Homo-oligomer: A and B are copies of this chain.
Amino acid sequence: MSDAATHGSLTGLRSCVRPGNRAGGVSQCSRCGARKASVCNAIGDPDLDRLAASVVHMTVPPGCSFIEDGAEATDFFNITSGTAKLFKLLPDGRRQITGFATAGHFLGLAVGDHYAFGAEAIDTVHLCRFSRPRMTRLMDDFPRLERRLLEEASNELVVAQNQMLLLGRKTARERVATFLLERLRNAEEDDVLVLPMTRTDIADYLGLTIETVSRTLSALRKEGLIADAGSHNLRLLDADRLADIAEGDRD
């Protein structure tokens, strides 16, 4: 089927020295922009110092991997800024990106004690690292945190089910339309969306090839549904129509 064209960014690994970790200063968490959207909002202000003392901040440069598929699952991660891609590989190099993680996303839930996926920074990613034992202690001490994690996992499951519907049953056109609308939620402006990832990443996320993604975007552009808005930016000109397309409305 496909192959090879799909794993371009291995070159990024050359600059992947594990960055110097520094312990979070006291109450870092109270100033964290991602807190509102993350599981950390389950912990109240009075206990923030306790939370801050449990994490290590990390900066991951673009193209650098911070979770290796199959490696021992020693840590949990909470992204505070930037975008990461999560993926699985087949032995011959075919890749499926299972999701893009942005500020507030919690990563590292695993079955057994090994990660079942890889994670790599797309742009510069800032994140908090929790060791498993510390996370367990936090959950013991803050039941609301655990409840919040279950909520988060449920959320991810719903997202995953939607993605299975997309991968199993939608056409290329429907997949791209779905993707664009999905990206709208991460957007600052109402109709301008940011695509920090490459076409290869988009293709590996949607189960397509880069050529098909490119052609489909060109078609939507020609039909006046989207327009370029600078590098790595797109403007949605007719989100309603795109929503119809995404759900299979006659195509």
Q: How far is the CA of A149 from the CA of B149 in the complex (A)?
A: 10
CB-CB < 8 A to A140: which residues of B? 143
Interface size on A, residues (CB 8 A): 47
Q: Which 9 A-B pairs have the closest CB atoms?
A: A168-B207, A167-B167, A160-B160, A153-B153, A109-B154, A96-B165, A96-B168, A94-B169, A88-B165
CB-CB < 8 A to A147: which residues of B? 139, 146
Contact assessment for A157 and B247 in the assembled complex, using a CB-CB cutoff below 8 Å: no
Q: How far is the CA of A2 from the CA of B251 in the complex (A)?
A: 13
The answer, yes or no, to whether A80 is at the interface (CB within 8 Å) is: no
Number of this chain's copies in the assembly equals 2
CB-CB < 8 A to A88: which residues of B? 161-162, 164-165
The answer, yes or no, to whether A32 is at the interface (CB within 8 Å) is: no
Chain B proximity of A166: nearest CB distance (Å)? 8
A164 and B165 in contact, given A111-B158, A154-B110, A248-B92 (Cβ under 8 angstroms): no
A-side residues, CB < 8 A to B, are: 1-2, 86, 88, 90-92, 94-96, 98, 109-111, 116-117, 139-140, 143, 146-147, 149-151, 153-158, 160-165, 167-171, 204, 206-207, 247-249
Query: CB-nearest residue of chain B relative to A115?
Result: B158
Contact assessment for A153 and B160 in the assembled complex, using a CB-CB cutoff below 8 Å: no
Q: How far is the CA of A154 from the CA of B170 in the complex (A)?
A: 26
Contact assessment for B146 and A150 in the assembled complex, using a CB-CB cutoff below 8 Å: yes
Q: How far is the CA of A219 from the CA of B96 in the complex (A)?
A: 27
Contact assessment for B207 and A167 in the assembled complex, using a CB-CB cutoff below 8 Å: yes
Contact assessment for B98 and A164 in the assembled complex, using a CB-CB cutoff below 8 Å: yes
Contact assessment for A169 and B248 in the assembled complex, using a CB-CB cutoff below 8 Å: no
